Amino acid sequence: MSDMLIATPRRTKEIIGKHGFQFKKSLGQNFLIDNNILHKITAAAELDESKGALEIGPGIGALTERLAKEAGKVAAIEIDTRLLPILQEVLEPYPNVRVYHGDVLKYDLHQLWKEYFQGYEKVSVVANLPYYVTTPIIMKLLEEGLPFEHMVVMIQKEVAERMAAAPGTKDYGSLTVAVQYYCETSLVTIVPHTVFIPQPNVDSAVIRLTRRETPAVQVSDERFFFEVVQACFAQRRKTISNNLQSHFSGRMEKERVKELLQTAGIDPVRRGETLSLQEFARLTETLEQALAEGRS
């Protein structure tokens, strides 16, 4: 086996050929073959030997190899059994890497974190994510409160734009609010199709999410906050008032919904996409109080 880095077209083809590996589209297998992109990804993660990195979906190890060189310790979770012997072979020179087999969506990541990264204060999630499950993976890591420093991930460009969107733009929606509630976002770079084998049929981007010490807004009931946010975006072309009236029908009179919007200082004819996180939080508190009063 040559000394060349894995993330080159030649070495990637060599590894795939040697093992007779066939790509599975259903697992979102698009492997990176460009070191400049890898450099941008790991630079955004601000790694050094004192830090750890958790990779999701190492594939044949292109990014894993780079992480092994830059971070103190690397854990990589791969679902596809066929990749395990390949990873074992190509990552053999890197004793600071451990590959775990499993589905990240079902994995007890807190347990892994506690055991494997013991003594590491800063650990980042760094991954070229399988596109068929981008949002569920990111939401799992956020909702479970995994204490990552940064999450630097390659995802579909459209999804990255939605996560980093500002209020009042077409990309702003419930995903934006959910991500920005937990994290500061920055778009690292847009990525052309040509840096993957095989090439995906969507555009890609690298986004960095940095966990906030405390959420962007204070709410007394997180679940209710996200319920209100979802309700406001249920039908994007409808006003907030209409969306909330449908959502709370049976629990609240239509007129009452309008009044409460006004109490929260929000014009009932606005649409969900124009509300800032602070406005969603204020609205949530107002609605919650009214529902509690109604019950008492």
258 CB neighbour count, 10 Å cutoff: 17
Q: Which is nearer to ligand SAM, 34 or 171 (CB)?
A: 34
Q: What's the min distance (Å) between Cβ of 67 and ligand SAM?
A: 10
Q: What's the min distance (Å) between Cβ of 210 and ligand SAM?
A: 21
Q: What's the min distance (Å) between Cβ of 19 and ligand SAM?
A: 13
Distance CA 197, CA 14 (A): 12
Q: What's the min distance (Å) between Cβ of 102 and ligand SAM?
A: 7
Whether 76 and 94 have beta carbons less than 8 Å apart is answered as no
Q: Which is nearer to ligand SAM, 29 or 176 (CB)?
A: 29
Coil, strand or helix at 73: strand
Q: In the bound complex, which residue of the shown chain has the CB atom lying closest to ligand SAM?
A: 57
Q: What's the min distance (Å) between Cβ of 195 and ligand SAM?
A: 9
Q: What's the min distance (Å) between Cβ of 289 and ligand SAM?
A: 41
Whether 226 and 178 have beta carbons less than 8 Å apart is answered as yes
Site residues (vs ligand SAM, CB under 6 A): 27-32, 56-59, 62-63, 77-80, 83, 103-105, 128, 130, 133
DSSP states of 162-214: HHTPPTTSTT-SHHHHHHHHHEEEEEEEEE-GGGEESPPSS-EEEEEEEE-SS
Q: What's the min distance (Å) between Cβ of 103 and ligand SAM?
A: 4
Q: Which is nearer to ligand SAM, 80 or 273 (CB)?
A: 80
Q: Which is nearer to ligand SAM, 63 or 90 (CB)?
A: 63
Q: Which is nearer to ligand SAM, 136 or 294 (CB)?
A: 136
DSSP states of 218-278: --S-HHHHHHHHHHHTSSTTS-HHHHHHHHTTTTS-HHHHHHHHHHTT--TTS-GGG--HH
Distance CA 286, CA 289 (A): 5
Whether 58 and 99 have beta carbons less than 8 Å apart is answered as yes
Structure tokens at 17: 């050929």
Q: Which is nearer to ligand SAM, 74 or 179 (CB)?
A: 74
Q: Which is nearer to ligand SAM, 52 or 59 (CB)?
A: 59
In sign, the C-alpha dihedral spanning 254, 256, 259, 263 is negative
> How many helical (H) and strand (E) elements, i.e. helices and strands, does the chain have?
12, 9
